[in-house]
Chains A and B, each alone.
Chain A
């Protein structure tokens, strides 16, 4: 419910520091199931912060993820309204419904728990190489440049069969794609075109000379009799995996490291007992204090959320990280507890049919990084205080600008 006398707050909210969530999360959760906030575009959306409401909404097929629909809220200040409003060639049939499920199942086979566990030794090797180089360089180093960015890029490139030398290009195109306020429409258009051209060339190469990688496998499926993915669908898939495969994971590696080292006993517990790696990774994912803007949905019929009516044609924004601190689901939600029994039920990777397809890979990467830190760098420390850390501004992916460490 919106009180007429209260102005609609701007979103994303400010936070005390990068590791401490905005106070508004708890306030809006306790006040009403749907709070109203103003996006950088100027559009007003309903914000969801309760665990049950968030899960229910994300699992309900009546709520569309297609924000290019007429009347849907725009998130960014670019004319096109940002990532979620942008129409991309080759996504119309695989975005929702049965077409999405068909597409998803083609990808899911590459991300099963067993497939990802088989990748673990390669991820470990890449992490060790990067850490060797970091040690040779000497402290202090910016962990973003030395590990958090290159590791996920190398992993996703190896998985897809893309050359990792092009990592700076993906990093730039991805950041531009995620703009809220940082880039202009012209920059967005140019980067989008360049990224699509690059992905298209890559798909053509894989089609002509298939290797032992996911993209080659997908081109062979799309070329077979049933023609399950068109060229455009493959191109948008390749681009999506390159973008999602490193942006989110590299941000999370830094946030995990900062969350643990800023309260050192959390890190020391893992050093003393490597069995705690999994529980610690899950608790860091749950407590992510810089989770980006959230996930928007366009409401296609009149509904109720937590007893409050939401009209057809309105837009809701699901704040996953706020839902992860709902005390009804996670008692004492602001307390870090590596032994918390249900911490892996966080919604950091979403919920419902669009649940993050790469989360098994992200989990393996995070576990490898933490396990390797604990074994090889027990003395790892932050150079700066949490108050001195700066977040990446103006983009929809929540992360740290840099994270300097010593050991």
Chain B
């Protein structure tokens, strides 16, 4: 799995952080998404998929 995030589209909801905090974080200055792991480990796949599906602006893309 390879993750890309669109920081321009991100609205800073932090929902991805709530779901998968090993993979996503937020910039302190504006809450925009930061990718901690481009290629997450298999144990995080389910949470990453849920984070992508739940992103309010569709700013998380997955290539599997």
| Residues of chain A whose beta carbon lies under 8 Å from any beta carbon of chain B | 59, 104-106, 108-109, 111-114, 341-342, 344-345, 349-355, 357, 359-360
Contact = CB atoms under 8 A, between A and B. Distances in A.
Given A113-B26, A355-B11, A108 B32 contact: yes
- Which residue among B9, B11, B29 has the maximum number of chain A CB atoms within 10 Å of its CB? B11
Contacts of A345: 50, 53-54
A105 B57 contact: no
Contacts of A349: 13, 56
A342 B19 CA distance: 11
A111 B12 contact: yes
Contacts of A353: 9, 11, 57
Contacts of B17: 112-114
A109 B28 contact: yes
Interface string B1-32: 00000000101111101110100001011111
Contacts of A357: 12
A279 B32 CA distance: 25
Given A111-B31, A112-B26, A352 B50 contact: no
B29 to A, nearest CB: 6
Nearest to B15: A344
B60 to A, nearest CB: 13
Interface of B: 9, 11-15, 17-19, 21, 26, 28-32, 50, 53-54, 56-58
A360 B29 contact: no
Interface centre among B12, B29, B57 (most CB of A within 10 A): B12
Contact of A355 (B26, B53, B57): B57
Contacts of B26: 112-114
Given A113-B18, A113-B26, A341-B50, A108 B31 contact: yes
A111 B18 CA distance: 13
B5 to A, nearest CB: 15
A108 B54 CA distance: 18
A355 B13 contact: yes
B11 to A, nearest CB: 5
Contacts of A341: 50
A112 B57 contact: no
Contacts of B56: 59, 349-352, 355
Given A105-B31, A109-B30, A360 B14 contact: yes
19 contacts: A59-B56, A59-B57, A105-B30, A105-B32, A108-B31, A109-B28, A109-B30, A112-B17, A112-B31, A113-B17, A113-B26, A114-B17, A342-B50, A344-B19, A345-B54, A349-B13, A349-B56, A355-B56, A360-B14
B11 A112 contact: no
Contact of A59 (B28, B32, B53, B58): B58
Which has the most chain A C-beta neighbours within 10 Å: B13, B21, B26?
A: B13
A105 B12 contact: yes
B53 A342 contact: yes
A109 B18 CA distance: 16
Contacts of B58: 59
Contact of A106 (B18, B28, B30): B30
Q: Which 8 pairs between the two chains have the least Cβ-Cβ distance?
A: A108-B31, A108-B12, A105-B30, A355-B56, A113-B14, A345-B54, A113-B17, A112-B26
Contacts of A108: 11-12, 30-32
Given A59-B58, A113-B17, 12 more contacts: A108-B11, A108-B31, A108-B32, A112-B17, A113-B14, A342-B54, A345-B50, A345-B54, A351-B56, A352-B56, A354-B11, A355-B11
Contact of A112 (B14, B19, B50, B54): B14
B44 to A, nearest CB: 15
A384 to B, nearest CB: 34
B54 A352 contact: no
Nearest to B11: A355
A55 to B, nearest CB: 9
A344 B54 contact: yes
Contact of B13 (A59, A105, A342, A360): A360
B52 to A, nearest CB: 11
**Most chain B CB neighbours (cut-off 10 Å) among A106, A109, A354:** A109
Contacts of A104: 11-12
Contacts of B53: 342, 345
Nearest to A356: B13
